[in-house]
Amino acid sequence: MFIFIDEYLLMEQKFAICRVAIAPLRAAASDKAEITTQLLFGDTVEILERSEPWYRIRNHYDAYEGWLDFKQLSGITAEEYNNYSNTAYLVPAGINNSLTAPDGSHYYLAASSSLPGYANGYCSIGNTAYKLGFEAQATPEPFSEIRKLALFFLNAPYLWGGRTLFGVDCSGFVQAVFKLLGIALKRDASQQAEQGEVVNFLPEVREGDVAFFDNAEGRIIHVGIMLSNNEIIHASGRVRIDPMDDQGIYNHELGRYSHQLRIIKRFI
């Protein structure tokens, strides 16, 4: 059974792992501070600063930094940090993704969460083993799966900083889909736009290419996944599918273009 003596040990350790299904990462050490992103179960982090009960951490997966309540973490060794960070198994795109803890309690996990120490239907954090109620997904998946994975999030509500089916922002959506494909993208749209290879013309777009959009000042503010050279799935109010052309995304509900196209990138 997991016991909270680990909280004391955590105060002496440099590395940790998210032990709850979803943990908000905030811009400052306060419950009132903006949520900038979320940690998911199995995300490994480096502890940068302590201001009890808040820890400033850096997520190993995308190097994103922020503050969270240390009670949502479990301390791990440097060796465990390296091993868990390179996990080859993820929670699949499904709605019945539950873990059972040794005490019989359940964790309901978001798609693309990591499964540290996965073996024979169990994952583990330290000496605590959790039984999977679903089939783990080995990565990477065939790239032909991108449409299926993207559509899994269809109609998920928009949430600034969100990374899950129950609330996701534009770059969190793109990051989650590509993580399920075994492709690591950064967290923010502006960071993602610095990755990948440029697709020069819209007619050359393939399913799975990623489009980025800017504002009047030229700053990248939005991102989505191309389903074809004239259709995009993206998080704007909710995860939705809209028509796309050289100008950008056309929103029929608004009767106008909602996002101005800046660049298209290919990641595989």
pLDDT tens digits, 66-77: 999 999 999 999
Whole-model pTM: value is: 0.93
**Would you say the CATH fold of 143-266 matches that of 5-132?**
no
Q: Which of 24-28, 80-84, 111-115, 129-133 has the lowest mean pLDDT?
A: 80-84
Mention every residue, 6+ apart, whose C-beta is less than 8 A from residue 41.
18, 19, 20, 21, 22, 91, 99, 107, 109, 110, 113, 114
Q: Name the residue with tokens 């803890």.
A: 101
- Return the pLDDT at 158: 98
- Return the pLDDT at 6: 52
Q: Class for domain 143-266, per CATH?
A: alpha beta
H or E segment and range at residue 28: none
- Return the pLDDT at 134: 96
Where along the chain do its domains lie? 5-132, 143-266
Q: Write down the CATH superfamily of domain 5-132.
A: SH3 Domains (2.30.30.40)
Average pLDDT over residues 174-198: 96
> Rounded to whole angstroms, how far apart are CA atoms 177 and 180?
5
Q: Is the pLDDT of residue 5 over 50?
A: no
Q: Is the pLDDT of residue 189 over 70?
A: yes
Q: Is the pLDDT of residue 233 over 60?
A: yes
Q: How confident is the model at residue 10 (pLDDT cuts 50, 70, 90)?
A: low
Q: Is the pLDDT of residue 52 over 90?
A: no
Q: Is the pLDDT of residue 2 over 50?
A: no
Q: Average pLDDT, whole number, for the chain?
A: 93
Q: Is the pLDDT of residue 181 over 70?
A: yes
Q: How confident is the model at residue 219 (pLDDT cuts 50, 70, 90)?
A: very high
Q: How confident is the model at residue 144 (pLDDT cuts 50, 70, 90)?
A: confident
- Return the pLDDT at 136: 95
How many whole angstroms from its chain centre is CA 167? 11
- Return the pLDDT at 20: 97
> Rounded to whole angstroms, how far apart are CA atoms 175 and 231?
19
Average pLDDT over residues 168-187: 96
Residue numbers annotated as active site: 170, 222, 234
